[in-house]
Structure 1
Amino acid sequence: MISVKSFAKINIFLHINGRRADGYHDLQTLFAQTELHDTITIEEAEKTELRCSEASVPADSSNLIIKVKNILAEKYGFRNEYSITLNKNIPAGGGLGGGSSNAACFLKAVNSLSGLGLSYTDMADILGSIGSDTVYFLHDKPCYAEGRGEVIVSEAELPCAPVLLVNPGIHVPTGEIFRGGNLKLTAKADLSRMPLVAGYAELTAMLENGLEAAVFAKHPVLKVLKTSLLDSGAEGALMSGSGSTVFGVYRTDEQLESAYSVIKEKFAGYTVFKSRIKGAG
């Protein structure tokens, strides 16, 4: 049996470079994991079965963990069966990459547990086939990425800054946002020239998301939430991915604690997490 932590991600920046010939958009982003995590427990069994603590999360073949297991069987003839328990803390569909993180962590754990011997490239191919941000979770450090988000350019280091993650429980369909227009387009940058070690000021200066305008137009409360995080003392705030989670970055734990109280009272009913950027792996 093995238990692993499956960490949530935020996008420090998310730039949209334009539409591709395949219908997707070219993106450039800086992924960073936070200390918020799910826990996955895996043990050998006669039949693979997934149990999840959150009833709204599917446990069938639509779950990315099961998709990974099925690819291993189809592509590698992998016949090991597992009882999988997924204890969810990361809000589903909130722009924090919970499902993608779960899939990558399951794959890494099974590769280690079974001695399957998959290389990084093998695992990246599997994960890239089921999602755009899944490959990132093979890494423990922040990473610059481009393409659909599956092309990792380089690892980086960020300060382990306190962050407040606020999820209003709104589901934002990513495809609908990309198809709906009102995206902020950014000229493609050379990510290889971006700082590999960034300080706090560089971190907050990089906060930008080309999807915010489109999502805020549909869900104005998210703009109110971002403004409230800034008013609470955050030195930067941003929507993660396509939303609906918005995060604030603070300089000190004391500022975070003060902001937590304010935001919890103002947005009663929202899910609020005190966390920290996992900056250096």
Structure 2
Amino acid sequence: MVKYIEIKSPAKINIGLDIVSKRADGYHNLQTIFYPLYELYDIIKIERSHEFSFTSSKKELNDDNNLIVKAKNLLEKKFSRKLPVNIHLEKNIPVGAGLGGGSSNAASVLLALNDMFNLGMKKDILIRYALELGSDVPFFIKAKPAIGKSRGEILIEVKLNITKPFLIVNPGIHISTKEAFANIQPKESKIDFKAINENDLNNISLFNKLFKNDFEEYVFKTYPEISDIKKIMTDNGALFSLMSGSGSTVYGIFKDIGTAEKVRKSFPSKYLSMVLEGDF
């Protein structure tokens, strides 16, 4: 019997994010490429217990609205049984930052509880349950580079390996996804990501032609500080820079770690900033 599981719950960025249309169910159809950041992750520790408890290194996350608790509750409902565990979250991914931290945590809990309690869920069932928790959650069941369509749950894995370093900068501005969607005008994509061949997809010099983030227009206008982050990156040698998700994190891809580190030091110390080596 598995009594303890410790799992790394990675972040993601969006390489391109097109909001294509609003659906009858209130959600939006989109097109994006999800790219995992394995070097930036939360740690989730799960231990069998007599009753359920959840704690986090960030006290404000300790409530029943946390996707970790919702994931556990969903499985209890689906399997009509209690899953008594202590779950502790060590939070490193910034909250509400467009990096998918909460979604990743939910997927990690689905995977871990499936193993711990021998629930026997195959990947297709896990993905279906993941979608009940949120549009980004299905991606994290496998956490491999993938085109996301529909709400983001239709996933087509792609061979994409970015070997250059990333600079990740988050100014600590919390942007509600609901707010971002409410202020966007959906439009058809000019480029079908599925039609991009593997060579072009791995050619960073083409990224500026191929990819944009439709949320940037509203977010940059409303929060100029976020627009400034992207400008500083592009003015200082970023090969490509984009806001991730609905913000407020902006990332840049640089030719080498030295350049990325130099640019990182130009941002205020109150910002969360890090250089990730790439080549995952």
TM-score by length of 1: 0.91
Residues in 1 aligned to 2:118 and 2:183: alpha-carbon distance in whole angstroms: 45
1:249 deviates by 0.8
Partner of residue 40, structure 1:
44
User: SS of the counterpart of 1:33?
Assistant: strand
Partner of residue 229, structure 1:
233
- Unaligned runs of 5+ residues in structure 2 are none
Correspondence list, 1:106-121, <5 A: 106-121=109-124
Does the 8 Å CA contact 1:153/1:191 hold for their aligned counterparts? no
Does the 8 Å CA contact 1:156/1:195 hold for their aligned counterparts? no
Query: Are residue 213 (structure 1) and residue 217 (structure 2) matched?
Result: yes
Partner of residue 195, structure 1:
197
Does the 8 Å CA contact 1:33/1:278 hold for their aligned counterparts? no
Correspondence list, 1:56-205, <5 A: 56-57=60-61, 59-181=62-184, 183=185, 185-187=187-189, 189-196=191-198, 198-201=201-204, 204-205=207-208
Does the 8 Å CA contact 1:31/1:143 hold for their aligned counterparts? yes
Residues in 2 aligned to 1:196 and 1:112: alpha-carbon distance in whole angstroms: 34
User: SS of the counterpart of 1:161?
Assistant: coil
> What root-mean-square deviation, in Å, do the aligned CA atoms of Structure 1 and Structure 2 show?
1.8
Structure 2 residue identity aligned to 1:212: E
1:190 deviates by 4.0
Structure 1 residue identity aligned to 2:273: V
Residues in 2 aligned to 1:18 and 1:80: alpha-carbon distance in whole angstroms: 39
1:159 deviates by 1.8
Query: Are residue 262 (structure 1) and residue 263 (structure 2) matched?
Result: no
- The change in CA–CA distance for 1:139 and 1:278 in structure 2 (over 3 A counts) is farther
TM-score by length of 2: 0.91
Residues in 2 aligned to 1:192 and 1:234: alpha-carbon distance in whole angstroms: 25
Does the 8 Å CA contact 2:21/2:186 hold for their aligned counterparts? no
Residues in 1 aligned to 2:108 and 2:170: alpha-carbon distance in whole angstroms: 23
- The change in CA–CA distance for 1:176 and 1:45 in structure 2 (over 3 A counts) is same
Partner of residue 272, structure 1:
273
User: SS of the counterpart of 1:56?
Assistant: helix
- The change in CA–CA distance for 1:141 and 1:244 in structure 2 (over 3 A counts) is same
Does the 8 Å CA contact 1:161/1:200 hold for their aligned counterparts? no
Q: Deviations over 1:13-53 (max 9, x none)?
A: 10111222222221000000112111111111111111100
Q: Deviations over 1:119-164 (max 9, x none)?
A: 1111111110110110000123211011111211233322233111
1:188 deviates by 6.5
